[in-house]
């Protein structure tokens, strides 16, 4: 059984005051995971750039800012969110793709680190006299496979080693001899060996660039991708992952002039376990299977529908009733899409209408991926703070929010 870290009475009080569904995050877990990451990589000059896409609420970003983290932004809107939370300059890494000149201009004018996805963009930037203070290139090694991200040869992200070499040669001729290097090739990964293997690859590439062009990488961003234990039996051994990276770092850079800083852009690992989607059973239906229908839907949590991902479920009321009988259910939402399912053939304690269901591990890529299909309104977010207070950090949308961008009479 997975533990719910937020006191049940706090959840029930929030339900009584605001209704369901809603997302709630445990600030204690966020700070604990941040501390774990910083401790695991204390053997090197290290900085975490939290991936805004995981949880873009500025109240969450301010926790990162107070912990001396940077942020990784994929769009201009995410840069603006970072700025509202107090980030600026080199504490923002702009990692976008299909980047327009206007987006580059916005980020460069704010002195963000510019992480270039398509290496050829550097020529356009110089043609337009847009010279970033800090330039980084995203490497696609074409040699890594991961369950979520797939085969890196099929990935739309990054540039090949040869394309980056051409861009480095271009910059070296113009007197730029210090750069950054980045790769992001795994997602929700738990195997330490994989982290060791791909970081060895990118470290060796950095050493090769130094030897061929005399250009140094002052930092190497090894991406994020550290998983969380969605299933109760899973274990994420962060010290072992960090040790694998340390071994590759020391192996490649021993007796080398290069001693780059290490950056990461973890998102899921920092906030994923902190979050819970609180929902209520509104309908129990039996046809060929037993269904539990929730007032939440995939518009609140897309991962199970998109990836058939596992999220643990707890029935708070069945547990309070001390139910002992387990039954097999499909747990579903109300969208007019058959993949709107939180769980398929899941064994749960005997459940009934009005029971509160807690969906675990929704603090990353949960509310952030929400949408309005079928006119579903995006729901509220709350933060359970380190002082034991439940603080509302986003109100629920209403119908006026849904329609306020529509123009003309109707």
Catalytic residues: 336
Name the 3-class secondary structure at 153. helix
Q: How many residues does the chain have?
A: 410
DSSP code for 188:
S
Residue 75's CB: how many other CB atoms inside 10 A?
18
Phi-psi region of 162 (alpha: psi -120 to 50; beta: other; left: phi over 0): alpha
Q: Identify whether the C-beta of residue 300 lies closer than 8 Å to the C-beta of residue 294.
A: no
Beta bridge partners of 348: 327
**Token pair of 257, please?**
């002039």
- How far apart CA 113 and CA 107 sit, in angstroms, is 8
CA distances from 315 to 278, 289, 292, 349 (A): 10, 19, 11, 7
Please calculate the CA angle 350-355-357 and round it to the nearest 5 degrees: 90
Q: Identify whether the C-beta of residue 222 lies closer than 8 Å to the C-beta of residue 262.
A: yes
Among 58, 14, 48, CA closest to 368: 58
């Amino acid at each position: 059984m997975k533990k719910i870290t937020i006191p049940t009475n706090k959840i029930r009080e929030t339900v009584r005051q605001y209704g369901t569904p809603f997302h709630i995050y445990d600030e204690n877990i966020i700070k604990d995971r941040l501390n774990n990451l910083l401790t695991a990589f204390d053997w090197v000059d290290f900085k975490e750039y939290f991936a805004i896409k995981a949880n873009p609420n500025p109240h969450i970003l301010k926790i990162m800012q107070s912990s001396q983290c940077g942020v990784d932004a994929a769009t201009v809107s995410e840069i603006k969110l970072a700025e509202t939370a107090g980030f600026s300059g080199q504490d923002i890494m702009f990692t976008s793709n299909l980047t327009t000149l206007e987006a580059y201009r916005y980020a460069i004018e704010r002195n963000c680190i510019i992480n270039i996805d398509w290496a050829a963009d550097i020529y356009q930037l110089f043609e337009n006299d847009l010279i970033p203070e800090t330039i980084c290139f995203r490497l696609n090694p074409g040699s890594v496979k991961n369950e979520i991200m797939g085969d890196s040869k099929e990935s739309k992200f990054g540039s090949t080693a040869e394309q980056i070499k051409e861009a480095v040669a271009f910059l070296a001729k113009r007197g730029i001899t210090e750069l950054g290097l980045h790769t992001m090739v795994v997602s929700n990964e738990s195997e330490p060996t994989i982290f060791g293997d791909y970081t060895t690859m990118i470290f060796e590439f950095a050493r090769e660039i130094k030897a061929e062009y005399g250009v140094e990488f002052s930092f190497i961003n090894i991406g994020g991708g550290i998983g969380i234990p969605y299933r109760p039996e899973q274990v994420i051994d962060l010290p072992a992952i960090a040790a694998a990276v340390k071994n590759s770092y020391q192996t490649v850079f021993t007796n080398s002039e290069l001693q780059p800083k290490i950056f990461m852009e973890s998102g899921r690992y920092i906030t994923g376990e902190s979050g819970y989607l609180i929902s209520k059973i509104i309908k129990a239906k039996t046809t060929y299977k037993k269904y539990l229908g929730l007032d939440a839907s995939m518009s609140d949590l897309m991962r199970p529908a998109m990836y058939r991902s596992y999220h643990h479920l707890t029935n708070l009321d069945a547990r309070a009733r001390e139910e002992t009988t387990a039954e097999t259910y499909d747990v579903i939402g109300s969208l007019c899409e058959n993949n709107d399912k939180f769980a398929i053939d899941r064994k749960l304690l005997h459940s009934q209408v009005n029971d509160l269901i807690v969906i675990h591990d929704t603090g990353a890529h949960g509310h952030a991926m929400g949408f309005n299909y079928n006119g579903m309104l995006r729901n509220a977010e709350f933060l359970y703070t380190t002082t034991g207070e439940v603080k509302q950090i986003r109100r629920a949308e209403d119908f006026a929010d849904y329609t306020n961008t529509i123009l003309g009479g109707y």
